[in-house]
Amino acid sequence: MQKTVKPIRTGEEYIESLKGRDLKVYLFGELVKEPVSHPMIRPSINAVAKTYDLAVEEEELAFPKSSISGERVNRFLHIAESAEDLVLQNKMQRKLGQLTGTCFQRCVGMDAMNSLHSTTFEIDEKHGTKYHQRLLEFIKMVQHENLVIGGAMTDVKGDRSLAPSEQEDPDLFLHIVDRDDKGVYVTGAKAHQTGTINSHWMIVMPTMRLLENDKDYAIVGALPVDAPGITYIYGRQSCDTRSMEPGDIDVGNSEFGGQETMVIFDRVFIPNEMIFMDGEYEFASMLVERFTCYHRRSYVCKTGLGDVLIGAAAAIAEYNGVPKVSHIKDKIIEMTHLNESIYAAGIAASYQGHKMKSGVFLNDDMLANVCKHNVTRLPYELARLAQDVAGGILVTLPSEAEFRSAETGPLLEKYLKGKSGIEVENRMRILRLIENMTMGRNAVGYLTESMHGAGSPQAQRIQIARQMQLGYKKQLAKNLAKVKEDPEEMKENSEYFKRVFKIPEK
C-alpha cells in the first residue's frame, strides 16, 4: 500500500511519492520496472505534477479551505461547498489545460468524491448505513496527505444488450466474488481509465443503472492503486513511441501527456471501512447520473487545450507570413468562438449549481450535458481549422533526425524557411505541436476523449431529452397564443418555472 511520510506539497514531491511502488504495469507486453522513469509514461506524470504546483502558485484558485479537514486542500480533493467552488473548479481546469496542453487526469477523482458525498448521504438516509461517515473519514485522510484519487467507473461491458448479471462471463462488470467479516473481494476490469497508475488511491463505482439481480455489481469502494491483485495494461496512443526517440521536436509537446489504462482486478480486497455502497443497487443510477453531471461540466478543461491550439494556429500563421490574410484571421476568430461556446455552457452550469441534502453543491444537469455535447463536436472543428491554417507541411515534415543531420539539415534550413527572421526550428516545433494535439499522442486527450469521455454523444442527448420540459415550453407558446389549457397542467408548468428560476413564494 502507498505510504506517505508527510503531506505532499509540490509537483516534485508528488513525483517522488510515486517511486518504488509495487505496481504491476504492462507496456508492449513487458512488465515496467519503474513507471516514473519510463519515457512514455513520464509525460503523464508531469501533467499531474502541475496540479500540485498550481496550488502552490495560485492558492485562491486551486488551494481552498475544506470544512471537512479544516485545512487548505488541493481543489481536486475539495468538496464543493458553494456554486463559487464549482466555478473555481472550471477556472482551474481551463488554466491547467493551458499549462499542459493535455489531460491532467484528476477530474474523475474530484467528480467521483463530490457525487459520492450526496449519494452516500441519501443511501444512509434510506437504509441506516454508515457510508457517508466512512466517506468523510476517507476524504479527510486524502485531503491531509494531499493524494491523487483516480475514479474507475467504465466496465468493459461485454454484450451491451445484457445486464451485468446476464453476461456469459460475470467478470465483464466489476463485482463482488467473495466476502468475509473484514470486507469484500472484487473481480472484473475497468477500461479507458485515466491516470490510474499516476494516482495513489482509486475509487471503483458501478457504470450503469442496476437491477435487483445485479446486487453484487453495486459496489463502491476505495483502494490503493498498488493493492494486490491489480494489473494495469497501458493503452497505446498515436505516435507514442516518439517520446522514446532522441530529441524533443517530433514529440510536439514533449513535457506533458495523458494516460489511459485497462485495469484488471483479480480478487482485490476492499476493507469495510473503505466501502461506500454494497448492494444498494437502486442507488447506482443516482450515483452515475450525479457523477456524469459533474464530469460533463468538467470538460471545460478542453477549452484550455483549445487556447493552446488557437495560439499555435496564430503562431504558425505568423511564421508563414500570413497573419493578416482575411481568411486566416476569420478561421482563428471561428476557433475562438467555438472554444468560448464550450466554456460558456460549462461555467453557466457551475454558476447555476444548487445545494444537495448532504451540503455539497451540484451543477446544473442540462447545461452540463450541453457543455459535453459541444465538446463532442467543436474540438474536432478547432482541430480541422488549425490543420487548415498550418498547411500540408504538417503531415509531411521530415524528422528531427533529418534536421540534425550534417547532410540534410542545411537543406531543410534553406527550404523550410518561412517569414524572414523566424528560426526554421521554431516553425518545426509549432507544426509538431499542432500535429501532436490533432493527430498525435495528445489528440487522445483533446479529441477522442472529447468524444467518448463521460459518456458518448448519445448519452448526453438522452439526458437533454429528459430535461427538455416540452410541457412547460408548450405552455409558454399557448399562453401567448391565448390557447385554453387544462388548469392542472398550467399549475404544474407554473411550479416548474418557479423551481428552475428559483422564484420565492410570496
Catalytic center residues: 103, 107, 194, 260, 295, 299, 301, 449
Q: Please give the backbone phi and psi of residue 235, each rounded to the nearest 5 degrees, phi first.
A: -85, 145
Q: What's the grid cell of residue 251?
A: 514529440
All 3 cell numbers of residue 67? Answer: 470544512
CA–CA separation, 7 and 63 (whole Å): 14
Question: For residue 490, what is the enclosing H or E element?
Answer: helix 487-500
Residues 349 and 179: their CA atoms lie apart, in Å, by 41
Structure-block grid coordinates of residue 105: 487526469
Q: And the C-alpha cell for 107?
A: 477530474
The C-alpha atoms of residue 25 and residue 198 are separated, in whole angstroms, by 11
CA distances from 347 to 86, 94, 162, 302 (A): 8, 11, 37, 13
What whole-number distance in Å separates Cα of residue 460 and Cα of residue 466?
A: 10
CA dihedral 303, 52, 256, 291 (to 10 degrees): -50
Is-contact 186 197, C-beta < 8 A?
Answer: no
* Residue 72: DSSP 8-state: B
Name 220's bridge partners: 277
Amino acid identity of residue 218, one-letter, is A
**Alpha helices of 352-399 — where are they, by DSSP H?**
365-375, 378-390
Instruction: Give dist(CA 212, CA 208) in Å, integer.
Output: 13
- Angle in degrees, CA 460, 462, 466, rounded to 5: 115
- List Cα–Cα distances, 297 to 35, 327, 453, in angstroms: 31, 32, 11
User: How many angstroms separate the CA atoms of 439 and 30, rounded?
Assistant: 26
C-alpha cell at 140: 479527510
Give dist(CA 192, CA 195) in Å, integer.
9
- Phi then psi dihedrals of residue 336, to 5 deg: -65, -45
Find how far residue 153's CA is from the centre of its chain: 12
Cell of 411: 537543406
CA distance to 37, 240, 268, per residue, from 33 (Å): 9, 19, 22
**Gap between the Cα atoms of 36 and 25, Å rounded:** 11
